[in-house]
Every structure is written in structure tokens, then in C-alpha cells.
Amino acid sequence: MADAVIVVALLLVAASATVAVATRDPMRQALVLAVLGVVLAVLFTVLQAPDVGLSQLAVGSALTPLLLMLAVRKIRRRGREKEGER
Amino acid sequence: MNGWLLAATVSLAGGLGAALWGVATGPLRRRVVAQNLSTALACPGLLLLSQAYGRPSYVDLGLVLALLGPVGTLVFARLLADELAEDPPRAWGLTWTVAGLGAAAVTALCVATGPSRAMVKLLVVGALLISGNVIASRALSGGFRGVRGG
Amino acid sequence: MTRRARLWVLLTGGAGLAVLLVAACLRLPHFGGDRHPYGDRAVHASLARRTANTISSVNFDQRAFDTLGEMTILFAAVLGCVVLLRQTQDERRARPEPADVARPVRRYALLVLPVALLTGLYIVAHGQLSPGGGFQGGVVAATALHLLYLGADYAALERVRPVGRYEVGDALASSAYVVTGIAGLIGGTAFLANTLLPYGTFNTLSSGGTVPLLNAAIGMEVACAVVVLLARFLDQAVEIEEESGR
């Protein structure tokens, strides 16, 4: 019965990873990725690996979204400038 | 199977499942709210897991999530400010409901812990979590309206 | 070599790898079982050196050399980013516009910033006692600084973040790790061997010999590296614009 929580965490990881791959728009993908990070941290915790879970939380909850969103923003602005020149 | 583990399993399955559904479908305003609530739902789950396994040091995971989860939502709120200004999310009922769930979980854990330093830590995590999520919700519904370009 | 021959070489190699993997998987201990030959030895070694968190003992004592490699990878990756994302000749800097953030959000950011910094330091300092360590704490502390960008504006962040100093800090912390390793050599044993300092009392802040020192070095390295990395990304996203015909 104690394995139930492991099964739940594994299913959540599989589902959110699939959604992250299936989402096309990078901004929405970043949102799914943030949720995936939290779910992965839960999986690591129930597998008794809190150190890895802590790494995942530290990187996945704020740092990865910030890097991704900054990159998306730069690319969009460049696109807008190109359009302005035309 | 102890009750804490059951509570953690149910809250993680229900809460994160619902958050995942919310973030995967629908308009952008719904997705950002779901992302914010995923933090608010996972953090009590992690605290319950720490109690279930009898390992007080696992509370650190809840602490880090309560601190950085809302920061992640602020990132989205700031960098998606233009998109969200056209169609601002309104989810105060949901936000306060989830905050109430978090407060209930923290209260139950505090009662189980008894007055000690561990309880103070739990209370700090709870305060950070609830204030963080309410503020992040505020930021999503127009907190960065005065931000342009940078 | 023709395309066909290359395919055969690939298939042979792949088949060999698959056979080895299957053979290894068949002899793995069962999920959640009670036989952990490596785990038992690692726990024994970490208890002998009075390090309460076995993972830290593995990372910074038994496998400290691997951690040196990981640190070098992060260092090189950040260096590559700095080179790639520099300001080129056809780009100019635009002054970032001041941002008018809603008051509760601004207050929250300014209140949480010191709390998050303190949490980062706590996670680094307690690396040998509880889950966490240099990497996790360093990332938390570096993220905390960027609350200034989120809660105020980019100019506010730039005032407390002289990137040059963080670059120096990154390099200094990396060398501190290597120097601690070499100090082990001088002590008469091996590179990065944990024989330099007394092991201390189990489950106290000063336990574990060189583990806390290496943890601190990694914490500083990661925090500085993340700050420098984000500085480059923020520069590109907020300040640097391409010269256009307008």
C-alpha cells in the first residue's frame, strides 16, 4: 500500500512529461515544464532521494522558467524589429 | 499505511492531477493560475510526506518550494504581462480555497509536532507558502501592468 | 565506408550494448529490496567520517573527484554562454525602462529576498547534516537576488550585481575547491582525500572534515555561475538591441 504514492508520482511524471512534449507554443511549454519540475521533485521525495528532489526544486521552479522566458522574449522582440523594418 | 501517507497521496494525486489538467488545456490565463496552484498544492503534500516518513529534515523541500514556487509564478507574471493584460486571470476563490487547504495541512502537522523548533519551521513554511501564492495571484491579475519593455 | 557498412557497424554496436544492458538489468537487486551492497558500504564510510548526510559524504568525500568534474562542466558552460551572448558590434545597449510594479508585489519581493538568501546559506551550511548542499543552496541564493528584477526593475538589480565581481568569485571558488584537494596531497595522502581536518562530533555543523569546506566552495561557485549566466540572458532580453535601419 505504501507503493501507491510511488505509482501516483510516476503516473503524474509520465503525464506531465507527455504534455510538455505535446505542447507546441514555447511559452505554454515553459508553464508545463514548471509543473513537471514540481512533480519530479515529488517523485524523488517518495523514492527517498530528497537531495535530488531539492536540486530539482531549486533549478526547476524559478531558474529554468526564467531562462526559457527570457530566451523566448528576446526571439520575439527580434521578430518584431524585423517586421518593423519591412 | 499511516494516515499521513494516505493524506499526502490523496492531496498529491488530486491536487497535482487537477493542476496538470489546468496547465495542459485552455487559455493562457487558466494555465498560469494552474501553474501557481501547483506550487500551493505540492508544498503541503511534501510536508505531509515528511511527517509520513518520520523524517523532519524533508521539511527543507517544502521550505524551498514555498520560497521559489511563487518566484517562478512572478517570472511568468512579469514576462507574460502583455499577454495577460488583454485577458487577466480571475481566480481569487480558487486561490483562497487552496490557501485554506495549505493552512489546514500546516495546522494539522503543527498539532502533531507539538511546540518545538520544528513547529516554528512549519509555521514559517506555511506563512511563506500562503503569502507567496496570494501575492503571485495578485501579480498575475495585473501586478505588472506598469511594466513595459523591461 | 559506405552507408550500408556504417549501418551494420552501428547495429552491431547497438546489439552488443542491448545485450549487456539486459544482462545487467536481470541481475539488478529488486525494487525496494533490503540488499544494497554499495549503499551499505557508502553509509558505513560516511558514518566513520561522522557525516550525517550520506549523499554529501558520497559527493564531497568518497566521490569528490567526480564533483570536481561536474563543477568544471558548469564553469565551462557558463564561460561558453558569456562568450556566445556578448554584445557584438552591430548591437547597441538601450536603457531599460523603469517598471511600475504593484505595491504588494514589490513589498513581497523585498521581504522574501533576505529570507531566500538566508535559506540558501542555511542549505549550503547544513549540507553535511540534512538534504541539500552547495549546488542547491547556491541556486536558491542566486535566484533570491533576481527577486530585485522581478519585484522592482532591471536597474535595481544591476546596482547590487557587479557582474565582474561575480565572475571573479566564480573563478576563486573553483580554485578553492582544487586548492582544498591539493591540501590533501600536502597532508601526505591523496588528491581530495578527507584526511586534512578532524572529523568532529557527529551531527554538528563542523563535522565531516573537509566536506563543509568543499560544500561552501561549490555553493559559492554555483551561486556566482548562476548570477553570471542570468546576467547574460537578462542583458540580451532587456538591454541589448540590434542596430536597425530606423
Q: Which of C239, C91, C214, C94 is nearest to C163 (CA)?
A: C239
Beta carbons of B35 and A26 less than 8 angstroms apart: no
Q: In the predicted model, is pLDDT for residue C217 greater than 90?
A: yes
Of chain C, the percentage scoring pLDDT greater than 90 comes to 51
Helix (H, G, I), strand (E, B) or coil at A32: helix
Nearest CA in chain A to B61: A54
Angstrom distance (rounded) from CA B19 to CA C137: 27
Q: In the predicted model, is pLDDT for residue B149 greater than 70?
A: no
Q: Domain total for chain A?
A: 1
ipTM of the complex: 0.91
Question: Do C101 and B142 make contact, defined as CB atoms within 8 angstroms?
Answer: no
Nearest CA in chain A to B39: A38
Question: Do B146 and C100 make contact, defined as CB atoms within 8 angstroms?
Answer: yes
Look at residue A84 in the predicted model and tell me its pLDDT: 67
**Opening angle at CA B62, ends B69 and C133, nearest 5:** 95
| Residue labelled with grid coordinates 552488443 | C16
Look at residue C244 in the predicted model and tell me its pLDDT: 56
**pLDDT tens track for C81-138:** 999 988 887 888 877 777 788 888 999 999 999 999 999 999 999 998 999 889 999 9
Pairing mode, strands C91-93 and C240-242:
antiparallel
Mean pLDDT of chain B: 90
Angstrom distance (rounded) from CA B146 to CA B81: 9
Q: In the predicted model, is pLDDT for residue C200 greater than 90?
A: no
Provide the phi-psi class of C231: left if phi over 0, else alpha when psi is between -120 and 50, else beta. alpha
| Residue boundaries of the structural domains of chain B | 3-140
Across C208-231, average pLDDT = 93
Partners of residue B17 in chain A, C-beta under 8 Å: 12
pLDDT classification of B44: cutoffs 50, 70, 90 = very high
Q: Chains that contact B by 3+ CB pairs under 8 Å?
A: A, C
Instruction: Flag the least confident range among B29-33, B71-75, C73-77, C99-103.
Output: C99-103
Q: Which domain covers residue A39, as residue numbers?
A: 4-85
Across C148-167, average pLDDT = 88
Look at residue C243 in the predicted model and tell me its pLDDT: 64
Q: In the predicted model, is pLDDT for residue C209 greater than 70?
A: yes
The DSSP code sequence of C57-120 is HIIIIITHHHHHHHHHHHHHHHHHHHHHTS--TTEEE-PPPP-B--HHHHHHHHHHHHHHHHHH
Mean pLDDT of chain C: 89
Q: Which of B17, B36, B147 is nearest to B90 (CA)?
A: B36
Angstrom distance (rounded) from CA A46 to CA A53: 9
Look at residue C246 in the predicted model and tell me its pLDDT: 40
The DSSP code sequence of C3-61 is HHHHHHHHHHHHHHHHHHHHHHHHTSPPTT-S--HHHHHHHHHHHHTT-S-HHHHIIII
Q: Residues in chain A whose beta carbon is closer than 8 A to a beta carbon of chain B?
A: 1-2, 4-5, 8-9, 12, 15-16, 19, 23, 27-28, 30-32, 34-35, 38-39, 41-42, 45-46, 48, 50, 53-54, 57-58, 61-62, 65-66, 69-70, 72-73
Nearest CA in chain A to C142: A63
Q: How many CB atoms sit inside 10 A of residue B110's CB?
A: 17
Look at residue C245 in the predicted model and tell me its pLDDT: 41
Across B10-19, average pLDDT = 93
Instruction: Flag the least confident range among C20-24, C25-29, C213-217.
Output: C25-29
CB proximity C237 to A under 8 Å: yes
CB proximity B127 to A under 8 Å: no
- Shortest distance between the Cα of A73 and any Cα of chain C, in A, equals 6
Torsion angle in degrees (nearest 10) through CA of B16, B20, B21, B24: 170
Question: Do A32 and B23 make contact, defined as CB atoms within 8 angstroms?
Answer: yes
CB proximity B120 to C under 8 Å: no
Name which residue leads in pLDDT, C244 or A21.
Answer: A21
Angstrom distance (rounded) from CA B8 to CA B52: 8
Q: Which of A4, A8, A65 sits opposite B76 (nearest CB)?
A: A65
